[in-house]
Structures are given as C-alpha cells and as structure tokens.
Structure 1
Amino acid sequence: GGIFKKAAELTVLCDAEVSLIMFSSTGKLSEYVSHTATTKKIFDRYQQVSGINLWNSHYERMQEHLSKQKEVNNNLRREIRQRMGEDLDDLSVDELRGLEQNMENSLKVVRERKYHVISTQTDTCKKKIRNLQDTNASLLRQLEERDEIPHFGFVDNGGDYESALGLANNGSHLFAFRLQPNQPNLQDGGIYGSYDLRLA
C-alpha cells in the first residue's frame, strides 16, 4: 500500500504521469496509473524516448503464428480439392495411392454410418408396427367379447312385440321376451299378478 501511496503523491505533487505494475509471489496483479494517463500511453512514450520497441518481439511471434495458420489452411483447402478430384496434376504415384486409400477409408466410415442409420430407422418402424398390431388385436378381442354378451328385450303385453321379435331375429345374440299374465281378468285392475316369461 505504501508504494502506491507514494506513486499517487508523485502524480499530485510533481504533476507527473506515473504507472506502477506489481505482481505478488502468488501471481496477483496490482497496478496504479495516473488519472491523466493510461498504461498504454505511458508505454508508447517510453518507446519513443528510449527507442526500444516493446511490442516488436510480440508482433513477430504473431506474424509467425499467422503464417503457420495460413499454411495449414492452404494445405486443408488443397486436400479438399484433391478429394473432389481436382488439383491432382502435381501428385506423385505414391501420393495418389495415399489419397486413394484415404478416400476408401472415408467411404467405409460413411457407409458404416449409413447402415447404422438405416438399421436404427428399421428397428423403430418395426416397433411401431408391433405396437399397432398389438393395439389392433386388443380392439378385436374387445369387439369379440362385446358380441358374445347376449342382449335381451322385454315387451309388455301391450307393447310392440313383433318389432322386438324382428330385431331379435336380425341381431346377434339378441333375445326378445313377452310378458303375458296368467290371469287375464287381473290385467286391467289387478296390481299384483304372475306373468309367464316366454322366449321368442
């Protein structure tokens, strides 16, 4: 803290532009720069006064890295053109054989991937078909069970027995019954009575 305080005092008392950069043993950065300047501005002034280019070595490394990246990019572009059947005139026999082998390996990988995708889609379709078949079989069983349940129709003495009988004869497992009193004289006035149940 004391050294940064001194740097601030120099800035105020001497009207100086001060830049202080300090790293601790753990790598922590601490810095101070006058409020009237920036670190880059002070470095630029230092280069002008001392004649030392602080960025030259860094710039050279960047240029070297850029050149390598351009070379890699050009090689990749040339390889792509060669795989497309272009730019083959300068290749030797061994290089052509190597290119052919690489393309065969690539083609093998593509075919394996294609067969895998086809197999996966086929399995998915088979599962869907089995599910539809199971659903259809379940619906058929429900329909058969429903048809096996008999349906009964009751017709009172004054009801439309012929219509019910016709429906019974045309329907599947459908039965029509007619209720007929044993004592006709109790039909009108009697509340209680016994009835015969006759199957049509």
Structure 2
Amino acid sequence: MTDYCCPSMDLGAMLDQYQKLSGKKLWDAKHENLSNEIDRIKKENDSLQLELRHLKGEDIQSLNLKNLMAVENAIEHGLDKLRDHQMEFLMTKRRNAKMMEEEHRQLNFQLFGYRVQPIQPNLQEKIMSLVID
C-alpha cells in the first residue's frame, strides 16, 4: 500500500490508484450506497441548518426576494399560530376563573345559611330546599 502513496495525494486518490493497479475492489455496491446516503444526509442537514438560520433572521443577505417572502410568510404563520394558542389559553383561564367564582358564590351562600339560625336546624333545610328549587 505504501507504494501507492505520495505526499501530495489524498486518501481517496491513493485508494483509487491502489484499486486500479492491483485489481482488488475496495468498495462494493453496499459501501458505495452507504457513502451516497451519508453525502445526501450531510447536504440535507446543511440545507436545514441554513433554513433555520434564515428563520432566525441570520444570514438573510444571501436570500433573493422570493425566498425572503417565503421566510416572512413562515414567520407570520408561526405568529398567527402562537396568537391563537395564547388566546385559547386565556379563554380557558377565564372560564376556569368564572367557574371558581360561581362555586365560591354558591359555597358562600350555603355557609350563610348555616350562620342565619344555627339553633333551628329545620330552617337550614328550608333554605337549602329554596336554593335547590
């Protein structure tokens, strides 16, 4: 293998030269497919990282008008979804607060019934029957 090496040659070129001169196959189809898949995933990763930087507002000088508009639309869509989620959260909080206020009012009314005439238990039953009806 050292016969095929020189200081100016990179590893890929050295292996190619060895394969040509020796006739031995170093890469089979399976390894070639794996290498192609790794290259494809690396390119996809780079593309997604660039898109993420654009969405963060970084590195947007390289974008053309069409791409800038696409980024703007994506950001506006995200803001709309965030506002919808925020409104839904606030409405849920308001409903819960109203339910708790109503429960508090009912409990106070029941408690008031016990304070009116603690000596006369029948009066408590009459007040409760009026509240239920």
* TMscore range, shorter length: 0.5 to 0.7
Question: Does 1:94 pair with 2:66?
Answer: yes
Q: Which residue of structure 1 aligns with residue 54 of structure 2?
A: 82
Out of 128, 136, 141, the position equivalent to 2:100 is 128
Out of 88, 91, 99, the position equivalent to 1:116 is 88
Per-residue deviation at 1:145?
3.3
Q: Distance in 2 between matches of 1:115 and 1:144?
A: 43
- Compare 123-132 and 99-108 and name the one that shifted more: 123-132
Out of 38, 54, 57, the position equivalent to 2:29 is 57
TM-score by length of 1: 0.44
Out of 96, 105, 130, the position equivalent to 2:77 is 105
Per-residue deviation at 1:110?
1.0
Q: Distance in 2 between matches of 1:135 and 1:122?
A: 20
Q: Distance in 1 between matches of 2:44 and 2:88?
A: 33
Considering fraction of residues, name the structure with more strand.
Answer: 1
CA offsets, 1:81-126, max 9 Å, x none? 1111111111111111111111111111111111111111221222
CA offsets, 1:176-199, max 9 Å, x none? xxxxxxxxxxxxxxxxxxxxxxxx
- In our comparison, the structure showing a higher alpha carbon Rg is 1
Q: Distance in 2 between matches of 1:135 and 1:127?
A: 12
CA offsets, 1:29-56, max 9 Å, x none? xxxxxxxxxxxxxxxxxxxxxx566x72
Gaps of 5+ in 1: 1-50, 150-200
Q: Which residue of structure 2 aligns with residue 38 of structure 1?
A: none
Q: Distance in 2 between matches of 1:77 and 1:52?
A: 36
Alignment of 1:20-31 (within 5 A): none
Q: Distance in 2 between matches of 1:58 and 1:122?
A: 61
Q: Distance in 2 between matches of 1:71 and 1:129?
A: 58
Q: Secondary structure at the residue paired with 1:129? A: helix
Among the aligned pairs, what percent are the same residue? Answer: 21
Alignment of 1:1-200 (within 5 A): 56-146=28-118, 149=120
* CA root-mean-square deviation: 1.8
Per-residue deviation at 1:80?
1.5
The number of residue pairs the alignment matches comes to 97
